Amino acid sequence: MHAGEPWDALWLNLHLATLELERGYGEIRDAALAVRDGRIAWLGPRQELPGGERAQIVYDGRGGWLTPGLIDCHTHLVYAGNRAEEFERRLAGEAYEDIARSGGGIMATVRATREASEDELLRQSAVRLRHLAGEGVTTVEIKSGYGLTIESERKMLRVARRLGEVCDLRVCTSFLGAHALPSEYAGRGDDYIERLCAEMLPALAAEGLVDAVDAYCERIAFSPKQVERLFARARELGLPVRLHADQLSDCGGGALAARHAALSADHLEYSSEDSIRAMARSGTVAVLLPGAFYFLREARRPPLPALRAHRVPIAMASDCNPGTSPCTSLLLMLNMACTLFGLTPAEALAGVTRNAARALGLQREAGRLAAGLQADLALWDVRHPAELAYAFGANPCSGRWRAGRLASSGR
Ligand code: NIG
Ligand code: FE
């Protein structure tokens, strides 16, 4: 360590994929990147580096590629137990919606999550998050929604916050009290929404546990009218919103999200072109979830041509959850977004960096390599960034940095 060096940390002998532009990777070959006070201070071709190649720490990129740290912008990774038995039932022919209607599905995980202690929930969830982090993830969004009482929703959100420290990454929380109707409120959906608006959301927000509000708008969950009520309350509390929209049927979810200037509308398999147009106008990011599409063996794909035509920013995420996407690999989602939905590898990488940052309202902090942003970085042992979407089951991540510091739970 040498005090007075021009940079706190310097990366040399590598290429950069900056993800700065709307298209492509933003390639800078034989580059250097310098960090000061946790932020990117300089990046560009190595020969143009000002001040010489001196820093307190110099990292040798070994000819690999440095990208922004990956961002998983939609997960339900805090939960207890699993639903392998439900998977077997679905394979034997039962439908996801029928299992949900008969008290299984989300409610099965609610029962297990309510029973688990906070420490046990942390232990089970950390296993999943470590796996994501090992693939270069430096920011993760985590939803509540398997508690559905104030105590158990608080427990989930506290675990989410603690996970950020345990796994050395940035956690953004979303309150998803409107995920399923708890049996205590059977037949009284409006009353439950009222309870969320009057008590649960304001209390948990006041405790600093809520960064955004999410809801599940679907015929087996909450109606557009109920979601409108919740979103109006979120706005009063100054909280941004996002929505599980049009996953199993067209509920006009994309348009509803756009009306509330939602950060993102997620799933979107059944969204109409009107919804997509509205999302384009409101700047709402489309978050595609190929893991859930694959695991539910959906036939209907999200409307990629319309998303492209209307220039809606596209992100993708793991949707890590026990029922529809028991997945802890964001790299696998890159591959599936290409093979199942038809994205290009460059669109896929932008979907877990630049556009995922936007889906979390973090576009000025993360998701690109640019001077001034936090130095959240991932180093890859690949010849070209397209390989990140090309290979599946591989993990070429060789380093992960959070705000310029080597992150501890990386491989
Ligand atoms: O994103 N759609 C609602 N929530 C999850 C499924 C949750 C579950 O089945 O446990 C999803 O697919
Ligand atoms: Fe989800």
pLDDT tens digits for 66-95?
A: 999 999 999 999 999 999 999 999 999 999
The atom number, within ligand 1, closest to the CA of 296 reads: 12
Q: Which ligand is nearest to the CA of 75?
A: 2
Nearest atom within ligand 1 for CA of residue 106:
10
**Helix 150-167 and helix 106-115, axial crossing angle in degrees, nearest 10:** 80
From the CA of 113, which ligand is nearest? Answer: 1
Q: Give distance in angstroms: CA of 106 to centre of ligand 1.
A: 7
User: Residue 271: CB within 6 Å of ligand 1?
Assistant: no
Give the residues across from 403 on adjacent strands: none
Query: Looking at residue 148, what is its pLDDT?
Result: 98
Q: Please report the atom of ligand 1 found closest to the CA of residue 247.
A: 2
Three-state DSSP at 360 gives coil
- The H or E element that residue 228 is part of is helix 224-236
Cβ of 113 closer than 6 Å to ligand 1, yes or no, is no
Please say whether the beta carbons of 78 and 108 come within 8 A. no
Say how far apart CA 135 and CA 150 lie, in whole Å: 33
Is residue 32 very low, low, confident or very high in pLDDT (cuts 50, 70, 90)? very high
Identity at 109, one-letter amino acid code: T
pLDDT of residue 4: 75
| Cα 182 to Cα 20: distance, rounded to the nearest angstrom | 44
Position 3 scores a pLDDT of: 61
Instruction: Determine the residue type at 73.
Output: C
- 194 CA distance to ligand 1 centroid (A)? 22
- Cβ(341)–Cβ(301) below 8 Å: yes
Model confidence at 62, pLDDT cuts 50, 70, 90, reads: very high
Mean pLDDT value across residues 237-257: 97
Q: What is the pLDDT of residue 22?
A: 87
User: Tens digits of per-residue pLDDT, 35-53?
Assistant: 999 999 999 999 999 988 9
Nearest atom of ligand 1 to the alpha carbon of 146: 10
Q: What is the per-residue pLDDT for 5?
A: 85
| Ligand 2 (single-atom ion) residues, CB below 5 Å | 319
User: What's the confidence (pLDDT) of residue 103?
Assistant: 87
Q: Do the Cβ atoms of 55 and 1 come closer than 8 Å?
A: no
Determine the residue of 324, 327, 333 to mutate for testing ligand 1's pocket, defined as the one with the most ligand atoms within 8 A of the Cβ atom.
Answer: 324
Tokens representing residue 19 in the block: 């993800």
> Percent of the chain beyond pLDDT 90?
95
Q: Which of 2-11, 12-21, 321-330 has the least mean pLDDT?
A: 2-11
**Whole-number average pLDDT of the chain:** 96
Regarding the beta carbon of 244 and ligand 1, being less than 6 Å apart is answered yes
Is 322 a pocket residue for ligand 1 (Cβ < 6 Å)?
yes
306 Cβ neighbours under 8 A, 6+ residues apart: 273, 276
Ordered DSSP codes for 19-39: --SSSS--EEEEEEEEEETTE
Q: Whole-prediction pTM value?
A: 0.97
> Is the model's pLDDT at 1 over the cut of 60?
no
Report whether 70 contacts 379 (CB < 8 A).
no
Q: d(Cα 343, Cα 341) in Å, to the nearest integer? A: 6
Q: What pLDDT sits at residue 411? A: 41
Rg (CA), the chain: 21
Contact indicator for 407, 136 with CB cutoff of 8 Å: no
402 Cβ neighbours under 8 A, 6+ residues apart: 69, 138, 168, 169, 170, 376
CB atoms within 10 A of CB 281: 11
Whether 292 is in the pocket of ligand 1, judged by its Cβ within 6 Å, is: yes
8 A C-beta contact, residue 34 and residue 10: yes
What average pLDDT does range 388-406 have in this prediction? 97
In which element (H, E) is residue 338 found?
A: helix 330-341
3-class SS of residue 276: helix
Q: Is residue 329 within 8 Å of 131, Cβ to Cβ?
A: yes
- Which ligand gives the minimal distance to the CA of 143? 2
255 in Cβ contact with 273 (< 8 Å): no
Dist. CA 26 → ligand 1 center (Å): 34
Q: Is the pLDDT of residue 220 over 90?
A: no
- In the predicted structure, residue 321 carries a pLDDT above the cut 90: yes
Among protein residues, the one whose CA lies closest to atom 1 of ligand 1: 319
- Give 91-146 pLDDT, tens digit per residue: 999 999 999 988 899 999 999 999 999 999 999 999 999 999 999 999 999 999 99
Distance CA 389, CA 317 (A): 13
Is residue 106 within 8 A of residue 148, CB to CB? The reply is no
pLDDT value for 410: 43
Instruction: Give the residue, out of 142, 175, 179, with the most ligand 1 atoms within 8 A of its beta carbon, to mutate for a pocket test.
Output: 179
Token duo for residue 32: 């250097």
Residue 106 Cα to ligand 2 midpoint, Å, equals 11
Nearest CA to ligand 1 atom 3: 216
Question: What residue owns the CA closest to ligand 1's atom 9?
Answer: 323
Q: How confident is the model at residue 408 (pLDDT cuts 50, 70, 90)?
A: confident
